[in-house]
Structure 1
């Protein structure tokens, strides 16, 4: 057996991943779950905590999916997949075997994006009910000035019951947790860009103090922010930097529906 490479994914939205070397062992552990041995196509549900990963050498390709995309793909409720990983077909992904076969035939890494773009165009329903409201909620989550559930719901113009249902169906979590996670991720992304001495000034203004932020870190990551950032692999750091370069944010959960 080859040696395992271990790493950790930040809390975020959903992902679809395809393993192109089928003999490769790749295991994942979401918060509160047992280790999951991946197959050829794996879905990550929305996560409120870090996802641990350990894998042998191999090739994995994939795409991130926003709550808008999840709803448009007409998949199972995101609430059902919250803090969970599993076989993609169990979440409702269609034609997944064909997608995997096409991915196996690619000769150029540059073709991966086009492959997933084409697949999602074939699968999404742009007329799916609730898409516009989910997009508005996503935008509200990116606004650091919206710190309360009422702020988050403002402008969506639906009943509280509908608002709660949309959060569960498309985002996987209750509004309060979504707000808390967004605040924490904004702060975590900010402190990794500054010197350690400046970190207390870089966190979100709605935190009462830095110890408040550290408590959130233990909730979402299971450790202090310093321990988490220092434990990230070189590959993870490069991934964060590349995502920021392309999408403007180092973590998927802080990007807009159109990114």
Structure 2
């Protein structure tokens, strides 16, 4: 697979069309053999699987003591950024959209929210362990994506009565016109009580937090896409003022906007740029399946 740039350590492959309701992208990161330790962010996102084929890595939510990250790991949906440190890593991974978490994991997402597990540590991750075994016999990214597609398509068979409601919630959360839980319930046709239960079970967090997280990441993405843009010029329309945004920044990133901009983010900057070119969104949480992908 050709790299998006000559120097980019990361590339993306979209899953097969029927899987794009469940999986965001497959991605491949290889930072080379440089032994210098690097530090970067993992932004709030949906569930993510990472198979680290080479190199050490530690990390945790910003502000917490770094922990060794399992070589084959799954992270539940996250509501806070994580700070990671790594050296000489080679990773194959993919993002799991809420509908994918429901169909492939089938375990309440809120029980894994903001948590990392080894793939072989819990029975609900059995399908992920099967995918990992494929990496013992194939190294080409296109072939890896094709094998993953085959296994995942087999794992998702037959209709599921919750799929329509899950997608309705997902699309409504991503709609910048929806600013509160009342409007979310109205847009989805789901009662507030049931919306609360489904949000925690499938998306990992209560609906109010999901809307706040989406609003924050829309603003963050605007600055990522245009580094010359000031925060005040990028504020999502749902923010009252700059102070409101600053409080949210601390909530989700564990630091001020200025501290964030001052930190080295070499890998994530290249990754976000590559994702935008190949997928159309700089952040996983802003990616939703196009209407034509829905079944």
Query: Quick one: structure 1 residues 28 and 123, their matched pair in 2 at CA, closer, same or farther if it must change by over 3 Å?
Result: farther
SS of aligned partner of 2:110:
helix
Q: 1:96 to 1:162 in 2, by over 3 A?
A: same
Partner of 2:47: 14
TM-aligned CA distance change 1:129 to 1:35, over 3 Å:
farther
Name the count of aligned residue pairs: 256
- Summarize the alignment of residues 1-259 of structure 1 with structure 2, pairs less than 5 Å apart: 3-21=36-54, 24-30=55-61, 35-89=66-120, 90=122, 92-194=124-226, 196=228, 198-257=230-289
- C-alpha distance in 1, partners of 2:218/2:125? 30
Relative to structure 1, is the Cα distance of residues 197 and 8 closer, same or farther in structure 2, using a 3 angstrom cutoff? Answer: closer
For structure 1, the 5+ residue unaligned runs are none
Greater shift, 248-257 or 88-97, is seen at 88-97
> Which segment is superposed worse, 87-96 or 207-216?
87-96
Work out whether residues 48 and 181 of structure 1, in 8 Å CA contact, stay in contact via their aligned partners in 2: yes
Going from structure 1 to structure 2, the CA distance change for 1:175 and 1:26 (only over 3 Å counts) comes to same
TM-score (norm. length: structure 1): 0.90
Cα RMSD (Å): 2.2
Structure 1 runs of 4+ off > 6 angstroms? none
Q: Structure 1 residue 174: deviation in Å?
A: 0.5
Q: Per-residue deviation at 1:235? A: 1.5
Q: Distance in 2 between matches of 1:88 and 1:132?
A: 28
Partner Cα separation in structure 2 for residue 195 and residue 44 of structure 1:
29
- Aligned-pair distance for 1:40? 3.5
Once the two structures are overlaid, the 10-residue window that deviates more, 115-124 or 209-218, is 115-124
Measured against aligned partners, the alpha-carbon deviations of 1:138-196 in whole angstroms (never above 9, x if no partner) come to 11111111001011122322332221111011110001100100000000111233355
Q: Which has the higher contact order (CA 8 A, sep 6+)?
A: 2
Of 164-173 and 27-36, the range deviating more from structure 2: 27-36
Deviations 1:26-57 (A, max 9, x none): 22313676544233420011111101212231
> Could you tell me how far apart the structure 2 residues matched to 1:192 and 1:251 are?
9
For the Cα contact (< 8 Å) 1:19–1:61, is it kept in 2?
Answer: yes
Q: Distance in 1 between matches of 2:214 and 2:146?
A: 30
Q: CA deviation at 1:197?
A: 5.8
Give distance in 2, aligned partners of 1:36 and 1:150.
Answer: 39
Q: Aligned partners of 1:229, 1:101: CA distance in 2, in Å?
A: 39
